[in-house]
Amino acid sequence: HLPDASLPVLTDLESLRQVFDNLHSNSCRYTASCGRSAVRARRVEDQVSVEITDTGIGIDERQQERVFERFYRADSARSRELGGTGLGLAIVKHVVHGLGGDVQLKSEPGV
């Protein structure tokens, strides 16, 4: 879901690709094949806000702060089964902060 008008951004394109690749991979990995994933972008003052939503398994509130830590897996049994290193969201946070942005998570189990 993108606005009709373009949202130009002055940034490192490769870093931005890495962020979206990691976020999209996580969204797909933890969403059933019949689920959905959506991307929305909009201008908020002098920045662009991007929101990724999915119908995945969700993350318990107690674990949400930790998902951006290196090697952390919210559901370690399922993560091992699905692959991944636990580095993707740590990379996202590091890159986004390096680009002057912020990353947030809102989730609940089963949603």
For 12-54, the pLDDT digits (tens) are: 999 999 999 999 888 888 888 889 999 999 999 988 999 999 9
Written as six digits, the tokens of 3 are 């606005």
Please name the residues in contact with 88: beta carbons below 8 A apart, sequence gap of 6 or more: 22, 23, 25, 26
Are the beta carbons of 29 and 37 closer than 8 angstroms? no
Amino acid at 55: T
Evaluate if residue 98 carries a pLDDT over 90. yes
- Tell me the torsion sign for CA atoms 49, 99, 17, 62: negative
pLDDT digits (tens, 9 = 90+) for 47-86: 899 999 999 888 888 888 888 888 776 655 444 455 566 7
Decide which of 100 and 110 is more confident: 100
Name residue, tokens 């390096």: 98
Per-residue pLDDT at 32: 86
